[in-house]
Amino acid sequence: MPQYAVQPCTIDDGADIARVHVSAFWTEPAWKIIWPNKTREYVTNECKKRMPFNIITDPIYRRQQKAVDTGTGRIVGYARWTLPELDGVEVGSLWPGAKAAEVSGERKQAAAEASASADWAYDGQVTSELDKAVDQMKKELLSKKQYIVLDILGVHPDVWRQGVANLLLNSGLKAIREFEVKLDVFVVAKSAGVGVYDKAGLKKVGEVIQDGSSVGIDTDYAAWFYVWEAEN
């Protein structure tokens, strides 16, 4: 059984993280439908142009980690978190172990240009009606307090059910538990994530389940909202 380790990301991981990200989410019917007439390979290649810049963007608030197969060095999972704005707290100094290494201005400029050249024109109209209800509940729940939001958790399908998501999630929660300031975590789960968040002990605080047939998917168009409380 391979062993996996959680590590910070660098700009050089961009292409590999793009591969993992698109391979993981392409399995999600509600994600795939916003790319009509595009193949997974095409979207992966466009994502590869964007991901290096994404990794170095917003260094004050963005935290991210990769899961690596320690035997082969292959990146197999990726998690991205966003810290909230906090009065009286220097947010940029929190969780240094999940900050992407800084790069030169020149490198940043090149990454920005590559990102801008990507075709990322997905069709958000396809799901926009269904997304309204999801967005509204998300907004309501997020208005209650300042959360760290887990924006992305994706694992390459080749290594599913080997504990990689669990490792990335728990590594993040462990770091967050050690912050001097107590911060809870919020995440919107799609169906594949439900088992992961249940197993890690997050609390389900809401759900929006809609019929997916209106957008051509044969499953529900569903979102579950989870919270993890730092005091627990």
Ligand X SMILES: CC(C)(COP(=O)(O)OP(=O)(O)OC[C@H]1O[C@@H](n2cnc3c(N)ncnc32)[C@H](O)[C@@H]1OP(=O)(O)O)[C@@H](O)C(=O)NCCC(=O)NCCS
The contact set with ligand X (CB under 6 A) reads 24-25, 27-28, 153-155, 160-166, 189-190, 192-193, 195-196, 199
The residue (of 56 and 193) whose beta carbon lies closer to ligand X is 193
Dihedral (CA of 106, 57, 101, 26) sign: negative
> The tokens of 226 are what?
């989870």
d(CA 43, CA 47): 6
* Smallest separation, CB 154 to ligand X (Å): 4
Residue closer to ligand X, measured from CB, 22 or 175: 22
If the CB atoms of residues 27 and 109 are measured against ligand X, the closer one turns out to be 27
DSSP string, 49-104: HHHHHHHHS-TTTEEEEEEEETTT--EEEEEEEEPPP-TT--GGGS-GGGSPPP--
CA distance 116 to 127: 24
Query: What residue type is 6 in one-letter code?
Result: V
Q: What is the Cα–Cα distance from 45 to 104, expressed in whole angstroms?
A: 24
The residue (of 183 and 188) whose beta carbon lies closer to ligand X is 188
Q: Which is nearer to ligand X, 16 or 56 (CB)?
A: 16
